[in-house]
Chain A
């Protein structure tokens, strides 16, 4: 039953995602990509959950690696997106260098 419930959530979210994203103008496609890329680092939550004290060494090693890579994805992804978005300015605010 839980599988059905999770699939239900999955399907609805996919449709929500289509609705949300189709409205993004092409100017913002790169930040959108890198921002959504950072969100895909959500797998970090899964990685954290696999690091339990009762687990065997090998599972811990895999989990730690997963945490490292997912953290790079999350932290790097958000930071780089923020750097990009900082540059998008309107004319009156920006001005020449």
Chain B
């Protein structure tokens, strides 16, 4: 190792420390922003010192960095907060693609790879390829250009199993004699890209928090594998950190839905609306007008908003906050109860409400609000359905039985803002809508809330 290389590697250690401390600082809203900045500086340091390596072709490096930075900055500042899930999916996919390309370029230049290096190169291509196309499918599902329902096709599991088998055999062949098997390498590239599509397309929209977390983990592992290919410590350390964080998030999301990862990935949940809607909860709903709801809220001492994906669709976060402020001015205690899988990515609702300037100390987690639910006067459910469905507790035959929910049905009054009586993602009816203490306030969430705000303003 030359002295330049040793210097570079020492700088990488400093970068790794900055990543680790940066991630640690992300665990509190007070320090999170500085943590992210620290991590970015760590990245900058790693990039700059890498440029000191000998024999680099700077004109292509500059070209690539300039193009990438311009695209990155523009998309990052143009994207609306409601579109954050698809943005993360997109960036994530690009990271995976880059790891694939790195392994490819390295192999193309030095085809005479050892068994170990060839194996990790194949892994890098496989994980990177799956991350790329999988993220692109997730991106399409999240922004609506692909139907977000689970798409099930015949022989799905067989095809996926066949793909995996091909990958294992091809990796074996490739590792034995990398230099002579360029065609095998190309097969691995093609199958990886195809597998990303076939493995994500059967997963429905509301399961996206799990998928995005998992793809996030993959992109880290792909970088890790690329790090093994070029024997680079910082890629391995940073990649492993991201891989681990993605796995932790995936576990949290699965737990919040009371389903196993295998069930989320393979069951095609939500692809069929359960035919049993006939024997679901039935009865009279109690519709309410804006004026009725106004009187209920006006008299309440404590109000908990329970947002779901419908809030994001209707872009209703600002008007929700406006209503919350009016309630507070009226002497009501206001909080926002957030289910871990509400929305399309982990923490989706928190980001939207933060955008609307809701202070984070008013955001209450599910486990904190449920024990005191009886003492809450009014729960306002905005565009959430399955995460407040009492069937998860009361109906052993329900497909969502056992899933932790925000137990709004135990509040004194529940107001449900909903466009229509259509069932939610899980395709099951919600007994909450027929309960004695529930009032249905039909309409688009945003205009419904605006009507309430108007009532308050004219009432005061």
A interface list, Cβ under 8 A from B: 2-3, 6, 9-10, 13-18, 20-56, 58-60, 62-91, 94-97
Contacts and interface: CB of A to CB of B under 8 A. Distances in A.
A87 B240 contact: no
Given A43-B102, A44-B98, A91-B362, A51 B60 contact: yes
Interface stretch (B154-162, B224-232, B434-442): B224-232
B152 to A, nearest CB: 27
Contacts of B88: 30, 33-34, 37, 80
A80 B245 contact: no
B252 A26 contact: yes
Contact of A88 (B32, B55, B321): B32
Contact of B245 (A21, A44, A51): A21
Contacts of B29: 25, 27-28, 85, 88, 90
Interface of B: 19-20, 22-24, 26-30, 32-33, 35-37, 39-40, 43, 46-47, 50-51, 53, 55-57, 60-61, 63-65, 67-69, 71-73, 75-77, 79, 81, 84, 87-88, 91-92, 94-95, 97-99, 101-102, 104-106, 108-109, 116, 212-213, 216, 219-220, 222-224, 226-249, 252, 318, 321, 325, 338, 340, 345-348, 350-351, 354-355, 357, 359-363, 365
B76 A76 contact: yes
28 contacts: A2-B231, A20-B241, A20-B244, A21-B248, A25-B27, A26-B252, A27-B360, A27-B365, A28-B26, A28-B347, A32-B346, A41-B94, A41-B95, A45-B232, A47-B98, A48-B61, A49-B230, A51-B56, A56-B109, A66-B105, A70-B94, A74-B68, A76-B75, A76-B76, A77-B91, A78-B43, A82-B40, A91-B361
Contacts, number: 386
Kindly name the residue among B29, B56, B244 whose own CB sees the greatest number of chain A CB atoms within 10 A: B244
Given A27-B350, A50-B109, A80-B76, A38 B102 contact: no
Nearest to B97: A69
Contacts of B362: 91
A60 B361 contact: no
B359 to A, nearest CB: 4
Contacts of A66: 64, 97-98, 101-102, 105
Contact of B224 (A3, A10, A95): A10
A71 B64 CA distance: 8
Nearest to A77: B91
Contact of A68 (B67, B233, B252, B357): B67
A22 B250 CA distance: 11
